[in-house]
Structure 1
Amino acid sequence: MLQPPAAIDRWVLSRLLRTVAACHRGFQEYNLQAVTSAIHRFWLHDLCDVYLECVKPVLRDGEGSLREMAQQVLYVSSERALCLLSPFMPYLTEELWQRLPSPHQQRQPSICVAQYPSLSELPDWNYPQEELDFLLVQEVIRVVRAVRADYQLTKARPELYISCHEDAAGRLGSFLGPLQTLSRSGSVRLLTPGERAPLGCAVAIVNQHCQAHLLLEGLIDLQKELEKLSVRQQRIGAQLSTAISRTQIPGYEEKVPERIRQENAKKVYSLQTELEQVRQAIQSLEQLPDKSR
């Protein structure tokens, strides 16, 4: 197999290679829990939750070469993952093995006689940059899903705008398709430096260098959401005041253990970030016309 052109294909193959290495190491150390945990993590979180969902649009509407490559990657990932699982669930994996189509592959008649995956028989599918970049993609997806839950956007697919540092933009640029699919967004656009998101966006702070803006115009009850945000702002403000007051007691630096001081500092930073996010959301929604009037 040639090097896949899509970053998400390289990511899942790199995750497969890392899983094979973890299984090999676990067997050598007689640590079966480490083996089963690695297999479970790949099947559930890497292959099914992420890759399979990401390639559904490609398999349905993608160009011929991209669709064929996605099919090959999906086959290889599933076939090798079944072999990893076979010693623990032989009957189930044999049933799935026999049902697995392989139009361009020659394989053993039974998974029982198939070679167990090893690093020596797999190509060099080590793509650490894609794995690192996708961690940021997953952070964006997490905060966007949180915003969707806050505004109860179960079926709507709002437009997503992302403003971030140039380095972060480069890391996200290769995964815009998966980002759109997994965040259930209508479209995804990276804003250029100095460019502002449209009015009416909810703001989600991913980290100090990256923010996600979800366009809510026409999707929510404006007055109702402003009231909810106002209550939330007051609640977070009160929590922040309490957290800050704990750090201002006499002799705080000398009397309070460092571990507790670090926890308090993280709590204050988290509340400040959340409060700023709510303030930006209120400011953005207040600039929209209230069509219910």
Structure 2
Amino acid sequence: MSTITQSALQSSYPPVLPKSFNSNQPTTIRLYPLSNYTFGTKETQPEEDPSVLARLKRLEEHYNQHGMRRTCEGILVCHEHNHPHILMLQIANAFFKLPGDYLHPEDEEIEGFKARLNERLAPVGTQFTGEGVNDEWQIGDTLAQWWRPNFETFMYPFIPAHVTRPKECKKLYFIQLPRRKVLSVPKNMKLLAVPLFELYDNTARYGPQLSAIPHLLSRYNFEFVDDNGNVVAVTPGGGPDPSSLQPIVLAGGDEMRVETNGDDFPYGMIC
């Protein structure tokens, strides 16, 4: 009998344990605490486009030359207070996006994605040494595909019936974080740890792609590990205190500025 089950049975009100309810589910995911990870900053990475219109114009040029653009982003999960948190980037105190970017036309999918993740989050030079600096990214399941049917800001989790040549496909992958890892964020961005409940049904702030992440992760069961490597909670289990869970700024934000030429848009809507 596990330590967790023993503790539950020794409580004042031991639970009624139902039969197993875990058939046909993926492997349980182990989440490590936020305190296990080291965060730093590196040189500024300016946005390639000064406005939404410029971004869409570049997309059109890419499509005419190379066909549909392939974009890869990662859902990196850790935990705080035994509640899953998603690591994401914030730009100009307003726009949110997952780590990743579009692939170069010649890139193979997974290796190209790892290269884009390194551009965003890998430490540089001798900034850090030790465990977790050069760990390989563990790219897991594809959790969603979003399609851009035209040279417009809207993306959909399906291809509309009248569209035969979508202009972009964005894939979201689950990334299993190791026990320890070193991450560095460009100075003009912030790296946040956002709890699932903050994302859920919050399209006004995060857009439809990011607010859908709790749905995408609901297929998994989680076990939560403490700083010493001990499993301290599992799914299903008791919920955390929501008052203690807020987005946490991990690094960056020193040079938060971006020009939008008057366009005001939530980044999750157009990235």
Q: TM-score range by the shorter chain?
A: under 0.3
Q: Structure 2-normalised TM-score?
A: 0.21
| Larger-Rg structure | 1
Higher strand share: 2
- Larger RCO (CA under 8 A, 6+ residues apart): 2
- The answer to which structure has the higher helix fraction is 1
